[in-house]
A and B are shown apart, each in its own frame.
Chain A
Amino acid sequence: MIELQRINKSYNTETTNLHVLKDLSLTIAAGEMVSLMGSSGSGKSTLLNILGILDSYDSGEYHLDGRLIRDMSEHTAALYRSKTIGFVFQSFNLIGFKTAAENVALPLYYQGVSFKKRHKMALDSLERFGLLDWAEHLPSQMSGGQNQRVAIARALVTKPRIILADEPTGALDSENSNDIIAVLNEINKEGITVVIVTHEEDIAEQTKRCVRIQDGKIISDSAVSK
């Protein structure tokens, strides 16, 4: 599903040359549930950006679902993202002036789904996460845990093959965190590949495979023992 081969990425400014990813190779098969662990500055966020086609890389090869992702125009990248990947972010990133249902329907809007149909799909997606009663609420009227579940409902509404979650529990208390991870596990059971970036051990322990990154390199890659 995801195949990274000797990926290099540096951020060059006039004064510094920051080599963030160093010859990093990683393969994630379809249906896996992987956690990417690392402290801040380890390069894990950069890696996630590259996986999500949100950023480019300098050398190496990245194949997503069998397709080489390289030198894509913004336009193609957007279309490809929209079809393949669902994102979940630490700060939820719901649009404040839209209701839960409208937020969930937004990716469908960008896929050209009609208003009626996407509203129905959004409600279905919300129902699945027990949020049907909150469909007409604005993000500011819901708790953090509810917001993150809306965000997951939004990531899933397009039926992506991969969910990329960037510190999905970072802004939540432990109870809500566990709830969110349970939700992600459930999604994974349906065959969707889930990649979670986190720095919390107990979150990583709830995934099936843990990849640790330090200084732009993978230092360990092991199955999580339950």
Chain B
Amino acid sequence: MLIDLNSWQEVFLMIRRNKLRTFLTSFSMAWGVFMLVVLLGTSKGVENNVRHNFIDDAVNSLWIYPGATSISYKNRAVDREIQFTNEDYEMIHDSIKATDKITSRIRPGIVSLSYKDKQASFDVRATHPDHLYLEKTKIVQGRFINENDMVMNRKIVVIGVPVKNALFGSEDAIGKSIHMGEALYRVVGIFKDDGSERELRKAYIPLSTAQMLHRPDGTIDQVMLTLDPNADSVEIAGDIQRLMARRHQFDEKDTQAIRVRNNKTRFEQVSDVFTWLRLFTWIVAIGTIMAGIIGVGNIMVITVKERTKEIGVRKALGATPSRLVRMVLKESMFVTICSGYIGMMFGVFVLFVVEKMGFGDKFLRDTQVDMNIVTSATLLLIIAGALAGFFPARKIAMVNPIEAMRAE
């Protein structure tokens, strides 16, 4: 009966000649599905983007910052500032067996860099060679800081792509010297980073060079290390806390004296946020679907009511009730299936355009939509529309055609 050409011709005629009705049903259907696709896609895109930005830093890593004591220990005053030196770096390096890569970091801060007549200010960091792995820095030309640079206190610098563009333009930068304050540094490498733009606007110099010039006392600002994949980062964070507590004379429970940022734990916390985001998305999605069901259903009910007279005429001319109900259903389902598909395609298209237009870098990434969910939701709307048409149609199909025809 579904491929009954005769009845489809009748359905197409109705669709063609009742453009407003077709449009209203299509629009509310397509709109519902469109909103759903955009909602789910955006939410997924935001999640993917945050996840991606995390990939910038090694996940199984610990970042250790000195702070100030908050608990009195052995009668010493609180608020005592802890200062890290090269010895702290050595100690962690030697004591923590699971250490894979380790680096200290000094931040000389925003420094004015110049090459010939060009000048710009960038954030300078002084690190060990292992820093390359901690930030997942990608060298696009030349090399990163190496052990020889450290031993010889070389005045070399590795710059991010935007730094290179600002100072050199299209000129080749490798081997050229740039002014950093009073000193001249030779560019040995150019890097990029998958993380945010901020991570690119940096210049890296060897830690030893920076200490020789600015920190003769051997102080450092932080220590960062990655762990063996199998290591328990939470346990090791505790080990470091105890190690530092003994060395710097503070209470083991004092979480303010030093801060150990555990990227794995942080990642898990963000994953928790994703769970809530997903839940929230689902609540809104279900709301959208329900609004769609009510919208499509409403139009169907009104449409069938409007067609009371027509149905009466058809009945007087020999249409059986079941045929009338089938006719109404075929029309509504054809319209809702087509418009649901259009809404779905349009939603996917909009997500695609948003991503391509560049908003993608900042908010969205891989705005993939789970087609199973969208298809199920579309089916749900189609069924809702069909049911909303079915009950009033059946009611009218059962009444006396004379009465149905009198309805205006």
Contacts and interface: CB of A to CB of B under 8 A. Distances in A.
B327 to A, nearest CB: 10
A66 interface: no
B316 interface: yes
A55 B320 contact: no
A81 B320 CA distance: 10
Contacts of B322: 75
Contacts of A52: 316
A115 interface: yes
B93 interface: no
Contacts of A91: 405
A97 B17 contact: yes
B315 A78 contact: yes
Contact of B318 (A49, A55, A98, A110): A110
A74 B318 contact: no
A87 B317 contact: yes
B297 interface: no
Contacts of A81: 316, 318
Contacts, number: 71
B144 to A, nearest CB: 75
A106 to B, nearest CB: 5
A112 B312 CA distance: 19
A148 to B, nearest CB: 14
Interface stretch (B80-88, B164-172, B173-181, B395-403): B395-403
A110 B317 CA distance: 8
Interface stretch (B5-13, B235-243, B343-351): B5-13
B14 interface: yes
Interface string A38-51: 00000001000100
26 contacts: A52-B316, A74-B320, A74-B398, A78-B319, A78-B320, A81-B316, A81-B318, A82-B317, A87-B316, A93-B309, A93-B313, A93-B405, A95-B310, A97-B18, A109-B10, A110-B314, A110-B317, A110-B319, A110-B320, A111-B318, A112-B6, A115-B5, A115-B6, A115-B9, A154-B317, A158-B318
Interface of A: 45, 49, 52, 54-55, 74-75, 78-79, 81-83, 87, 89, 91, 93-98, 102, 106-107, 109-112, 114-115, 154, 158
Interface of B: 5-6, 9-10, 13-14, 17-18, 309-310, 312-323, 397-398, 400-402, 405
